[in-house]
Structures are given as structure tokens and as C-alpha cells.
Amino acid sequence: MSEIDALKPAADIGGPCQPLLTVEGLSKHFALNASLFGKASVVRAVDDVSFSVAKGEVLGIVGESGCGKSTTARLIIGLMPSDAGKILFDGEPVGPVLSLSELRQRVQMVFQDSYASLNPRLTIEDTIAFGPKVHGVAPPQARARAHDLLRKVGLDPALFADRYPHELSGGQRQRINIARALALAPRLVILDEAVSALDKSVEAQVLNLLIDLKEEFGLTYLFISHDLNVVRFISDRVIVMYLGEIVESGPVEALWTDARHPYTRALLAAMPSLDPDNRTQEAPISGDPPNPIDPPPGCRFHTRCAHAEAICSARAPRLMATGGERHLAACFMVDPGSGHSKAVAPKVKETVNG
């Protein structure tokens, strides 16, 4: 594999215990100046979000549309500047130590719209070889790498290298997008609704491909989706976002069996069941999320929460340990000292996954 020598995955720095990606207090506020004299209103798309991704892990991010999932992804890869917060990649802060262009070799992204994320005027080969060429790989080597990656994502280079995006199916295009993301030998791949637009059989194939590639290249995934089944299938750990904030996070099984935040429970209850005896008769949460320009005071979910009490609109709950391993929730009901009538003490030594 001498032709790929020019682009190797960045060397590991902190060892297996150091998170590959750490996000601290990440915020993005979009200013909307409605009129010349009116007060500029602000959309808090991402508000003080902190989390970390362990090496080799698949971290899922779920939430309704508009909750800030995609904005978080774009902030991490530097497609838009953040207003506040720090991003550390393998312990190195992005900006002072790790430059944006170095980060962009280590982190790559696969977008939802498989058609819009491919240049309609470039052949598949040129699309995949573009990144390596930008990073100084000679064109013949970049082409060889493109062919190699096409094989890796299950497409025959002889058939596909010279073709254009509009000649391919959605599943094939998304395989191209995955190959393009892998072309720079990244360590972290952000999959922003990467399989959401595919039909179910193709979605399953692409998910299996992602799992195979993760094993082969030792990748870490940040998997953003609104499809809870898919997230459960592929993720090790899940973050639930609501209106720009993290409301709950934890290992996927703990979240599914013992969700502590009412919003997470509502999301899980909203999943359609395949069992005809287990029909959902009514929507567990009604209405749309509140306007993010003017989010409700206190807990942002209290306007739709069945358990809301006075305290919920007075103060904002913080992410707290729930007792389960690495399981956090931002709800007064897990905080015994909060004064919420349904607050319970965290269960000590719960055997999750047991």
C-alpha cells in the first residue's frame, strides 16, 4: 500500500483512556435582526453543550429536527465558527495547538443528502480523489486511493470510477460519500443523518458497511440521527438533545431500559411498534418544540412535560448522575434535593447491562 503512505491516520497521542473528542461548553447563537430598530433576537441553536467521544466508540446523538444536532456537527468540524466553547481532539485543543486544516484531516463528515453532497459535474473518482489532492497527494496516487476506497465500500472501480452522481442510486451515492470521507484517513467520522434518506433495505446495507469499515480502519463515529432504531443498532452510547441542550446521555441499553428524562421516555414511546397488540393510540408528546428564539425559562421541556411543576419553570436543571454507569440526565426528578415532588434518590449500584 505504498501509494497511500502520504496519508496515514494521525498518530494516537493520549492512549486509549483519553477521549478522542472532547467538547466543552459549545455554543452557537444565530442573531436574527428582525428590523432596523427592533431588538435583535437570538436563536440558541446549540447552548452550552459538553460531551466526549471515547476512542473506538460510536456515540449517537438523537433529537427532533431543529434541536441542534447538525449544528453541533458543523461546529465540531469547523464549517461554522462557534460562539463559545472548546473542542479538544485527542487532548489537543483545536485552534491553539491543532490547526483547522489538521483537524479536517482527522475528522470527516458524511452528509444526509447523498445527492447534494456530491458535485454533479465531477466523476466519482475525482470526487474521492479531491481531498487527498488538496493535502498534497500526487494525482496518480490520489486516483489509486480513490479506486482502493471504491472497492472498500463495495463498488467496482472499473464500473463506477468514471461515472457521475446522477447515474447512481441513493445507496451507491452514500457509499461514495463514505469513501470520500475516508479518503483523508480520518480517525473520527461524523455521520450526520447519513442513512436517514435511504430506504430500509439499503439503509441496513450501509449500516453494515459502516460497521465493517469501523473495524477495518479503527474509526470512531459520531452518529447523528432522528431514527431511534438505527441509533440503538449502531451506537454504544447516546446523547439526547432538546432545543440546543443535552437532556440525557448514557449507554444505549441503559437509556432504552431506564430512561430518566421525560423527553427521552416520550421519544422512546413514540417509536412505532411492530407488534399489532402494542399500538400507540396517541402521541405521547403533543405539539411542536417551542420557538428556539425565545425558549421557555427554566427547563426548556417543561411546556410539553407531563410532570412539570413550579420549580421546572423557575430554574434550569443541570446534567446529573442518575446512578447508572455514565448515565446523566438533566431533570429535577433525578435530583433529590430539587424540591420536585417526584424526585427520587439515584439508585445506588445499579447493574446496567447485567
Judged by CB under 8 A, does residue 205 bind another protein? yes
* Shortest Cβ 113–another protein spacing (Å): 6
Q: Which CB atom, from 12 or from 167, has the smaller least distance to another protein?
A: 167
Strands, sheet with 237-242, edge to edge from the N-terminal-most edge strand: 107-110, 188-192, 220-224, 58-62, 237-242, 245-251, 328-329, 320-321
Which residues ranging from 276 to 315 are in contact with another protein (CB under 8 A)?
Answer: none
* Shortest Cβ 315–another protein spacing (Å): 38
Q: Determine which residue in the list 72, 177, 264, 322 makes contact with another protein, applying CB under 8 A.
A: 177
Spatial separation of the C-alpha atoms in residues 52 and 279, rounded to whole Å: 37
Q: Show the cell assigned to 271.
A: 417509536
Which residues ranging from 76 to 95 are in contact with another protein (CB under 8 A)?
Answer: 77-79
Q: Which CB atom, from 65 or from 341, has the smaller least distance to another protein?
A: 65
Q: Which CB atom, from 23 or from 128, has the smaller least distance to another protein?
A: 128
Spatial separation of the C-alpha atoms in residues 213 and 229, rounded to whole Å: 20
Q: Determine which residue in the list 72, 82, 117, 225 makes contact with another protein, applying CB under 8 A.
A: 117
Contacting residues for 230 by C-beta, under 8 A, at least 6 apart = 195, 196, 203, 207
DSSP 8-state symbol, 64: -
Decide: helix, strand or coil at residue 147.
helix
Q: In Å, how far from its chain's centre is CA 73?
A: 6
- From 51-59, 139-147, 151-159, 221-229, give the range in contact with another protein by CB under 8 A: 151-159
Judged by CB under 8 A, does residue 184 bind another protein? yes
Q: Determine which residue in the list 105, 220, 225, 338 makes contact with another protein, applying CB under 8 A.
A: 105
Judged by CB under 8 A, does residue 171 bind another protein? yes
Q: Which CB atom, from 202 or from 268, has the smaller least distance to another protein?
A: 202
Judged by CB under 8 A, does residue 209 bind another protein? yes
- From 72-80, 292-300, 306-314, 345-353, give the range in contact with another protein by CB under 8 A: 72-80
Judged by CB under 8 A, does residue 150 bind another protein? no
Closest CA to 68 of 83, 85, 46: 46
The label of the residue with cell 460562539 reads: 83
Judged by CB under 8 A, does residue 148 bind another protein? no
Spatial separation of the C-alpha atoms in residues 260 and 262, rounded to whole Å: 6
> Exposed, middle or buried, 35 (CB in 10 Å: 0-12/13-18/19+)?
exposed
How far from each other are the two terminal CA atoms of the chain, in whole angstroms? 43
Q: State the Cα angle at 7 between 6 and 8, rounded to 5°.
A: 115
Decide: helix, strand or coil at residue 33.
coil
* Shortest Cβ 4–another protein spacing (Å): 16
* Shortest Cβ 176–another protein spacing (Å): 11
The residue count for binding another protein (CB under 8 A) is 50
Contacts with another protein, residue ranges (CB under 8 A): 74, 77-79, 100-101, 104-105, 107-109, 111-113, 116-123, 127, 130-131, 134-135, 154, 156, 159-160, 162-164, 166-169, 171-172, 177, 180, 183-184, 201-202, 205, 208-209, 212
